[in-house]
Structure 1
Amino acid sequence: MSRPRATAALVLAVLLAACSSPDESDRTPATPSPSTSTAEPTVDPEVAPFVTVGTGPIGLAAEGDDMWVVLSGDDAVTRVRAGGDGPDLTVAVLGTPLRAVALDGSLWVTSFRGEQLVRIDTATGDTTATIPTGAGPEGLTAGFGSVWFVEQDAGRLVRVDPATAKVASRTDIGVGARLPHAGRKAVYVAAFADDRVLRVDPRTLDVRRSEKVCSGPQGMAEAAGRLWVACTFSDEVVSLDPVTLERLSRTPVEGLPDSVVADDGRLLVVAEEGPRLVVVDPSTGEVTDDQVLGAESALYDSANLDVAVAGGQAWVSSFTADRVYRVPLP
């Protein structure tokens, strides 16, 4: 059942703010290098088609050409078919679900307040497993034959065997980490609370910690031999050496960049204000396109946005507008 809009937003804002890093006014944002942008923003709040999906969409998970959307305010996940004008299947996930990943016919969803990881059969919508977690399960990823998720408030990276739905390992990473990313040779974790990135060896579970890389690291993606990190509070995307975690470059992206995904030789970055979809060439670090999708204000860590690619489109969640934008890609 849908909650009133104000109530859902307030509940999630209190939950996430309570377990995030210090207030942004206490931060000292990194100073970006001079802009290498070659694209001016396309300012048109109705430029992108969208689908109205439900209350408080945050996480996105592509399955083929279809998209699963996590509705934090409705305690549910919903599916939008490629070309569909609305959801065709909605499944209840209690306890403020946040993020999801699709793998081999299953959708895995973290429930932040419910302190559980839920597995859903994407063909039937049946819940097939529920795994108790530590405090604050947040982001998750799939790679190296496993599902990995972060217990933000318990300070652990958890590995799950998708075949048995059993926990295979728990690795201490420190409180305040949020989003993991399964790369080519390692699992990376954005330690949002202390402005660092972690590299976890999937065989030994050894953890390498970077120096401070930027202010508010969140979404990550690998492209052109580098690890790219969206840095919300310093308004930039930085690239790191994927082994040493040394910072290699900085690309200014205004409007609180939140999530990033690699697609077909380019980086797609979502900034909260608008939201905006920014395209970055990972070989040069230059911004090649900048498109305003809507007219929403930045969230300032009261919630998050996500971006994913399916069916030749970039899908962008908008928490405050209760919609998902769909942007055709060249």
Structure 2
Amino acid sequence: MARLPGSVAALVLLAGLGACGGTEPLPEPDPDTASRTAEPTTPATSETEIAPFVEVGTAPIGLAADGDAAVWVVLSGDDAVGRIPVGADEPDLTVDVPGTPLRAVAVDGALWVTSFRGEQLLRIDTATGTVTDTLPTGAGPEGVTAGFGSVWFVEQDSGTLVRVDPGSAEVTSRTDIGVGARLPHAGRTAVYVAAFADDRVLRVDPRTLDVRRSAKVCSGPQGMAEAAGQLWVACTFSDEVVSLDPVTLERTSRIPVEGLPDSVVAEGGRLLVVAEEGPRLVSIDPASGEVTDDVLLGEETALYDSANLDLAVAGGEAWVSSFKADRVYRVPLP
């Protein structure tokens, strides 16, 4: 198993450990009245020693599907991103991204990458691998998403949600969301942000930039996705995936997922969740709250917030990054 140099590991650890904000905590929701617990059925587990994978560079974290043509992997330990064509067994293009890159999103022929230590957002032409724009950011740029005609990224240590015009690569707004927020998700009607440091989820109106803050929803909210009329949140430290009303942000259900669930994607009427231990790829029916499949991919131990795993879907496969094993697993989807 490849190990990071101490300096790089420390930098990535900083990316995962945001300082808590100074806002006054809201009351905890009452599980008996504010939520219903969805009891999952016993899943059919498909165990394998090692799932198919692509060897990549050091310490992969973020993944970004470029349509069904390729998947980009962010190599935080190599200060680079790599492109893996669908069907290929190795990256065909690598681009330098200095300063501990973490996350990426691909939209309209461009890959947008956050550089945590470098305090930059980079735009890369996905066809040529040329860096076309570099935007300075505040402290700790982390998660990035695209929606409502814009690119959005979170400055974790500055406590800001930043909106960027993808055509001009200029910042069009900055919204205060509190220090310690991490991952954004552009949904159907709003931009959601997982406020990892204080266990809440934020809803940002893309027209007015008004911010609604939830009560505490779980421990360690991270990846988010919308399905079956709900916002689903992977909760790493409480070993569960919870659903929220997408407008009120009230918790509506809880589904146990052991092994530190990290990322979640809605695909084909189901939820795909990556748990760090293994890692494992868990499928959930969002309508019934049932776990329908649980696939062991590898033999890695959990990260416990020293880094993260990511999930993307392209070419009929689920792609899962493995920070410790320096690889990206590929799982064919039925």
TM-score, length basis structure 1? 0.94
Is 1:75 the counterpart of 2:74 in the alignment? no
Q: Aligned AA for 2:191?
A: V
Determine the structure 1 residue equivalent to 2:287: 283
Determine the structure 2 residue equivalent to 1:38: 42
Output the CA distance in 1 between the equivalents of 2:206 and 2:169.
18
Determine the structure 2 residue equivalent to 1:16: 15
Is 1:309 the counterpart of 2:308 in the alignment? no
The Cα of 1:10 is off from its aligned counterpart by 2.3
The Cα of 1:284 is off from its aligned counterpart by 1.0
Determine the structure 2 residue equivalent to 1:25: none
Is 1:5 the counterpart of 2:1 in the alignment? no
Determine the structure 2 residue equivalent to 1:217: 221
Determine the structure 2 residue equivalent to 1:251: 255
The Cα of 1:57 is off from its aligned counterpart by 0.3
Output the CA distance in 2 between the equivalents of 1:155 and 1:273.
30
Output the CA distance in 1 between the equivalents of 2:12 and 2:62.
16
Structure 1 alignment gaps of length 5 or more: 23-27
Q: Aligned AA for 1:279?
A: S
Output the CA distance in 2 between the equivalents of 1:174 and 1:157.
9
8 Å contact from structure 2 (residues 270, 286) kept in 1 = yes
Q: Aligned AA for 1:70?
A: V
Q: Deviations over 1:121-159 (max 9, x none)?
A: 011111000000000000010000000000000000000
- Which of 150, 156, 160 is the equivalent residue of 1:156? 160
Output the CA distance in 2 between the equivalents of 1:41 and 1:6.
35
Output the CA distance in 2 between the equivalents of 1:223 and 1:18.
29
Output the CA distance in 2 between the equivalents of 1:40 and 1:4.
33
The Cα of 1:178 is off from its aligned counterpart by 0.3
SS in 1 for 2:218: coil
Q: Aligned AA for 2:212?
A: R
The aligned runs of 1:174-323 (5 Å cut-off) are 174-323=178-327
Output the CA distance in 2 between the equivalents of 1:34 and 1:91.
44
8 Å contact from structure 1 (residues 261, 269) kept in 2 = yes
The Cα of 1:216 is off from its aligned counterpart by 0.2
Distance of aligned partners of 1:77 and 1:307 in 2 relative to their CA distance in 1, 3 Å threshold: same
Determine the structure 2 residue equivalent to 1:89: 93
The Cα of 1:4 is off from its aligned counterpart by 6.9
Structure 2 alignment gaps of length 5 or more: 22-27
Output the CA distance in 2 between the equivalents of 1:74 and 1:230.
27
The Cα of 1:289 is off from its aligned counterpart by 0.3
Output the CA distance in 2 between the equivalents of 1:297 and 1:145.
39
Output the CA distance in 1 between the equivalents of 2:271 and 2:37.
19
Determine the structure 1 residue equivalent to 2:170: 166
SS in 2 for 1:87: coil
8 Å contact from structure 1 (residues 12, 302) kept in 2 = no
Q: Tell me the number of residue pairs that the alignment of Structure 1 and Structure 2 aligns.
A: 321
RMSD in angstroms over aligned alpha carbons?
1.9
Determine the structure 1 residue equivalent to 2:25: none
8 Å contact from structure 1 (residues 8, 56) kept in 2 = no
Output the CA distance in 2 between the equivalents of 1:145 and 1:78.
25
Determine the structure 2 residue equivalent to 1:62: 65
Output the CA distance in 2 between the equivalents of 1:304 and 1:249.
24
8 Å contact from structure 2 (residues 12, 76) kept in 1 = no
The Cα of 1:79 is off from its aligned counterpart by 0.3
Output the CA distance in 2 between the equivalents of 1:223 and 1:4.
37
Output the CA distance in 2 between the equivalents of 1:246 and 1:182.
18
8 Å contact from structure 2 (residues 103, 144) kept in 1 = yes
- Which of 119, 124, 131 is the equivalent residue of 1:127? 131
The Cα of 1:18 is off from its aligned counterpart by 4.6
8 Å contact from structure 1 (residues 8, 73) kept in 2 = no
Q: Deviations over 1:212-249 (max 9, x none)?
A: 00000000000000000000000000000000000000
8 Å contact from structure 2 (residues 15, 142) kept in 1 = no
8 Å contact from structure 2 (residues 12, 100) kept in 1 = no
Q: Aligned AA for 2:57?
A: G
Output the CA distance in 2 between the equivalents of 1:218 and 1:96.
19
